[in-house]
Structure 1
Amino acid sequence: MNEQDIARGMQALALLDPDIKRAAAQLGPPPVRHRPKGFETFLSAIVSQQISTKAAQAILERVTALMPEVTASELLNIDDQALRDAGLSWRKIEYAKGLADAVNTGHFDIEGLDLLDDKAAIAAITSLRGFGRWSAEIYLMFSLKRPDIFPADDLAIQVALGRLKRLPDKPTPKQARDIVEHWAPWRSVGSLFLWHYYHGPPI
């Protein structure tokens, strides 16, 4: 999603939800965020699990330095101990090799995700070990630029939505999805705004 997409989405959301209109008037639109498509982004998602962004970046750089090009075939050629020495846990090595094997054998077609609807694409990604619904939804939002994704399992989104709606506590994922159902077909922009709101909510 580019700036124009976000502007259109925010305009539509302001008409659909007075709380969005109120907050956006004080905070402004969220910034553009995107990630490239492809194998390296999926590998990065595995590396990044449960560690800081800075640590993940350092490990990813060491892992990718082991390959002449970052592909599934090249990753499968790397010895597990070399990946461990680069900073990956044994569990993440298992996930990374599983991802690479699925790509290499054709069981997981990254390019083919473009041709699937949201539900089917999420199902394809979550069929991989190490990838839950949140990871799949993030890929659809930032790499495939799907306009109507709402990663309700994200803690920051839950907290921000609770604040935006003046709830006594953050909603559960199911409650959050119900609350923003009327944001369709702009729930990706709504999600971006909630992250934006989380980091700088109006007083």
Structure 2
Amino acid sequence: MHVAIAGGHGQIALHLERELAAAGHTSTAIIRNPDHADDVRAAGAEPVVLDLEDTTATRLAEAVGNADAVVFAAGAGPNSGAGRKATMDRDGALLLIAAAQLTGTMRYVMVSAMGADDGDPDSDDVFQIYLVAKGAADAALRESELDWTVVRPGRLTNDSATGAVELAESVDRGEIPRADVAAVLARTLEEPGTVGTTFEVVGGATPIRDAVRAIASGT
């Protein structure tokens, strides 16, 4: 399997690239800063330099190429303003939907956020604006004809991977290491039964492979 990852130098993306390489898959890391190319190569991915906030669906489709799947792992970041929540967290994801449609890459896995359907559209709070942006991106993906999965992690940490999670359509709020999110993404890409599912994930006691298989089988 070959996977194109938007936001390819993000922390989750770098973990995912290592997961994919270890499993014998290949990946393209779509990055904005050419100085990050060596980092993604070291993680096992091939870098393609492209700014998601300054490109077209056609150019992004060229970067995606003949990938079997795409992952949207890009984000404006916690210190960005309200404007970039729209141009990156929402519009970047929409652009990747359009690019996937152009290339015929049907499989699309979205890295979303817990609470993405609950953002207040009338609020000026940046976090609420972020949730609204993520919710809009998720809704557009679910309305597309792509083979989508929406993964909604809890509060992200840089703790070491545990290899175990709590994963379901809805879970109590909690934390999860970025490395474990990446492992969930990798297993999700390998499980066709996760197509058409939206699920939340936090740290827990169930081995990741078992948790993803359970959601894939509807149990």
Q: Which has the higher contact order (CA 8 A, sep 6+)?
A: 1
- TM-score calculated relative to the size of structure 2: 0.28
Q: Which of the pair has more CA radius of gyration?
A: 1
Q: Point out the structure with the larger helix share.
A: 1
Q: Point out the structure with the larger strand share.
A: 2
- TM-score calculated relative to the size of structure 1: 0.29
